[in-house]
Amino acid sequence: MLLLRLILKNTFRHRLRAVLTMAGVAIALTAFGLMRTVLDAWNAGVSASSANRLVTRNAVSLTQPLPYAYKGRIRQVTGVTIVAAGNWFGGVYIDEKNFFANLAVEAEDFFKLYPELVVGPAEQKAFTMDRKAAIIGRKLAERFHWRLGDTVTLRGTIFPGQWPLTIRAIYKGARPDTDETVLYLHWAYIDEVMKKTSPRRAGQTGFFMIGIDDATRAAEISKAIDGQFVNSQAETLTETEKAFQMGFVSMSEAILAAITAVSYVVIGIILAVAANTMAMSARERLGEFAVMKTLGFAGPSLGLMLLAESLLLSLAGAALAMAALPVIAHAFATHLAQYFPIFLVSRQTMLLIPAFGALVGLLAAVAPAARVASVRIAEAFRRIG
């Protein structure tokens, strides 16, 4: 009990220093948590991918189209249960700064493939029946204050022209990592207009989303699909949805590596600050430790006491970071939804914060604690003053 009281008293004997140290640890760990969350947000599409979904695209590039006629041949491959054509639409709402993802899909099949996009039966029917309808995510509706029945006009970039769309449905995510900022329109609407304005572009699609009955056969089924179009004018590349999403993430690999490196540099900086604080504390109290040794306190006990003080400060900072991080992350998710549709603090990140807090506390006090434990009484008294 005596040691516990001494630890608490000595930890906060210099209140300003203790508060600043805790604040520094809290800020550093919060910054670390935010950077980890940014990395998780970047990889959200990968983590949300289903093992039972494949993507078939042009083997040359995603920008090159595929004939829509491929759909029937893909559907005949053993193991394939459903196929839905899709295109990145790339429409602009009023101005480029209002960016959000918008895709043209075969609605009925597409939403069977993505049960995590939850839509009411009545809304889904209204969307299916209206060729010029759109379905939007809940967060996108909140961002632009759109409601059912509103007409939204997108300016086409890949498909030129003005594209009026009526919002017939608003979907919600069945899981926390479901993107609720996407607008979906009918692929058939795009194809119908292309037949009139650009006949050469009609009957083409950007990719096929494919449902399979056995995820363990994904490689086999992918090979069978691609085998059907070898030496054709538009050869295909079929891969799992996860691999498809990782292809986009890999384009930003250098940025992600830099963020990862900076997150650990932040931990290193706060470790140096905490180590300096504990070294100062040990140096100032060297005479006190000498007196305590004369009273019978063992050197290792005094070293452990200093170690406990360091842990107390760093873990208090970690606790502040754990309380602040979800609040800050929620603010990020609210105001930066167009850049990070999914911005959730993962359980792993929340566990890493106290773990790194404890590590900082331990490493910061190792050298001062060893010095206190080993210093001789006479030598400590000579250093007084």
Residue 203 corresponds to which tokens in the numbers above? 């009957």
Contact 21, 273 (CB under 8 A): yes
CA distance linking residue 92 with residue 163, whole number of Å: 10
- pTM of the full structure: 0.75
Query: Each residue's pLDDT tens digit in the chain (385 positions)?
Result: 566 777 777 777 788 888 888 898 999 999 999 888 888 777 766 666 678 899 999 998 888 999 999 999 999 999 999 999 999 998 999 888 888 889 999 988 888 888 888 988 899 889 988 999 999 999 899 889 999 999 999 998 889 889 999 999 999 988 877 888 899 999 999 999 999 888 888 899 999 999 999 988 999 999 999 999 998 889 999 998 888 877 766 666 677 788 888 888 888 888 888 888 888 777 777 777 777 777 777 777 777 888 888 888 899 999 999 999 988 888 877 766 666 667 778 889 899 999 999 998 888 888 888 877 777 777 766 665 5
Radius of gyration of the chain (CA): 30
What are the Cα distances from residue 275, in Å, to 31, 142, 222? Answer: 19, 47, 55
DSSP assignment of 253-283:
HHHHHHHHHHHHHHHHHHHHHHHHHHHHHHH
- Distance, CA of 165 to CA of 193 (rounded, Å): 14
Q: Looking at residue 383, what is its pLDDT?
A: 60
Instruction: Assess contact for 183 and 100: CB atoms under 8 A.
Output: yes
- 94 contacts: CB under 8 Å, gap ≥ 6: none
User: What is the SS3 assignment for 86?
Assistant: strand
- Assigned token pair, 181: 């900022």
User: Rounded to the nearest 10 degrees, how much is the dihedral formed by the CA atoms of 329, 333, 336, 337?
Assistant: 160
Long-range contacts (CB closer than 8 Å, 24 or more residues apart) made by 279-285: 279/367, 279/368, 280/17, 281/10, 281/14, 281/306, 281/309, 281/368, 282/306, 282/368, 282/369, 282/371, 282/372, 283/368, 285/10
User: 155: closest CA among 102, 95, 91?
Assistant: 91
Distance of CA 234 to the CA centre of its chain: 34
For the chain, the helix, strand and coil percentages under 3-state DSSP, each to the nearest 5: 60, 15, 25
